[in-house]
Amino acid sequence: MQIIYNARLVLDHGVSTGYVIISDDKIQQVAAGDPDGHLLEVCGNSVDAQGAWLLPGVIDTHVHFREPGLTHKATIASESRAAVAGGVTSYVDMPNVVPPTVDLEALEDKWARAERSSLANYAFWVGATAGNVDMLVHDVDYTRVPGVKVFLGSSTGGMLVDDAQVLRRIFGQVPALIAVHSEDETLIRQGMQQARAQYGDDVPVACHGLIRSHEACYRSTRRAVELARELGTRLHVLHVTTARELELFEPGPLAGKRITAEACVGHLWFSDQDYDRLQCRIKVNPAIKTIADRDALRRALSTGLIDVVSTDHAPHTLAEKSQKYLKSPSGMPLAQFSLVTMLELVRQGWLTMQQVVNKMCQAPAQLLGIERRGLLQPGYQADLVMVAEVPQGYELTDRDVRSSCQWTPLVGATLHHRVERTWVNGVEVYPIEPNQPSAQALRFNRK
């Protein structure tokens, strides 16, 4: 048994100083106060947290770890190593790899790869295409797969689904969560044509939010929400970016909602005022919008209009991101620093510690039906992260980055929390990497 004591714990009733006992891969006991000497002796392996926070491990439901087929950018091994260094103990990877995860064979291949190399618990979205709807309806085991990813607008080749009849079948017949990348492809193309007419091949990155516009996001999300309400779909809108889209969602707790929304750390941290400084390093789809949009997203976390926070972690090589706008790919690596970045919003007064734990740990588990993860409770899996406060602050540098791409747009930011240790299923995986990964494939409750 292990005991971690003298820790600040976020519990259902508030924040307490106390201890957590781990037995094998599960939490055995959570208690306020100090353990007695006999308990320390019985547990044997003891860790004095010295007043640091001990939180449930982050569950990141939206990452792109690039394997298979794009491993010059990253791998499951490299990005799960970066993830646990940031307190992310579980992740769900997206299907736009090579070949795309749109059939059962591709899913089996990803599970096998993760079983061999992942340091964090893992699962994989299955992607929708115009031709695989029968499989999505009849063949996928949705106790192993959290749901279906549908690209309503993005340059994803065969995974762009914009046929109305196909969408009605997916929304109406798939017996699982439908997660959508929501942008209107027609408006995006029109925006690109206008930008190229004005700038030729030298379109500035500051146009990104005009090309992938507020209206492109709102129009697509409104259609998706209307279709979901008509057909009773369990719909999850990924990476909401605009204040206007928030009008389409209901505030309040996650329980009982049929339509939910996600915000990503990048959209909560950056605004279009950062394009001049960071250029294509913050080029993502949907685009980062205005300060007003960013602040509306932050406020929506506390009202429950936004239900979960994830990262859309999407590494590219720095050489790829250093190209001019039209050639630079969209995406940025954030998983390693998602928790400490969100804790900056606590420090700034936007959120409470309890709200961060809810949006990054508890609510993702509830959203996907992941049992016994996301809370500090007896019987739950021992996925834990210890986070120390750094009152004087420190500047994030390239040397801190563990992602294979070796960069993040957060470099230069002053942070006031640091992840010190991470446990996955009771095994410490950061800073000391274990000989054998302790990660498990996530399972999903479909009751």
pLDDT of residue 44: 78
E strands present in 169-253: 177-181, 235-237
C-beta separation of 281 from 409 below 8 A? yes
Q: Give the mean pLDDT of 340-367.
A: 97
Q: Give the mean pLDDT of 283-291.
A: 98
Adjacent-strand bridge partners of 9 = 16, 54
If pLDDT is split at 50, 70 and 90, which confidence band does 46 have? confident
* CA–CA gap between residue 271 and residue 290 (Å, rounded): 5
pLDDT of residue 409: 98
Alpha-helical runs (H) found in 118-184 = 133-138, 164-173
Angle, helices 214-231 vs 185-199, to 10°: value is 170
Domain residue limits at 354 = 58-368
Give me the DSSP letters along 34-96. PPPHHHHHHH-EEEE-TT-EEEEPEEEEEE---TTT-TTT--HHHHHHHHHHTTEEEEEE-S-
The answer to the question of residue 12 being in a domain is no
The answer to the question of residue 282 being in a domain is yes
pLDDT of residue 11: 86
Give the torsion sign (CA, 97, 181, 89, 366). Answer: negative
Q: What is the pLDDT of residues 124-167, one digit of tens each?
A: 999 999 999 999 999 999 999 999 999 986 545 567 887 889 99
pTM of the predicted structure, to 2 decimals: 0.97
If pLDDT is split at 50, 70 and 90, which confidence band does 350 have? very high
> How many domains, in total, are found in the chain?
1
| CATH code, domain with 105 | 3.20.20.140
108: three-class secondary structure by DSSP: helix
The pairing of strands 414-424 and 384-395 is: antiparallel
The answer to the question of residue 19 being in a domain is no
- Of 7, 55, 26, 97, the residue nearest 381 (C-alpha): 26
The answer to the question of residue 186 being in a domain is yes
Angle at 188 between CA 184 and CA 190, to 5 degrees: 120
The answer to the question of residue 445 being in a domain is no
If pLDDT is split at 50, 70 and 90, which confidence band does 36 have? confident
Per-chain mean pLDDT for the chain = 95
pLDDT of residue 400: 96
pLDDT of residue 41: 75
CA separation (Å) from 314 to 112, 281, 305, 359, 427? 21, 11, 25, 20, 27
If pLDDT is split at 50, 70 and 90, which confidence band does 398 have? very high
**How many other CB atoms are found less than 10 A from the CB of residue 24?**
11
Structure-token match 């506390």, residue found? 302
pLDDT of residue 14: 83
pLDDT at 377 over 80: yes
Strands ordered across the beta sheet of 259-264: 126-127, 147-151, 177-181, 235-237, 259-264, 308-310
pLDDT of residue 153: 64
The answer to the question of residue 384 being in a domain is no
C-beta separation of 84 from 424 below 8 A? yes
Q: What is the pLDDT of residues 233-285, one digit of tens each?
A: 999 999 999 999 999 999 999 999 999 999 999 999 999 999 999 999 999 99
The answer to the question of residue 167 being in a domain is yes
The answer to the question of residue 345 being in a domain is yes
Count, residues in the chain:
447
Compute the half-sphere exposure of residue 60: CA atoms within 13 Å on the CB side of its CA.
32
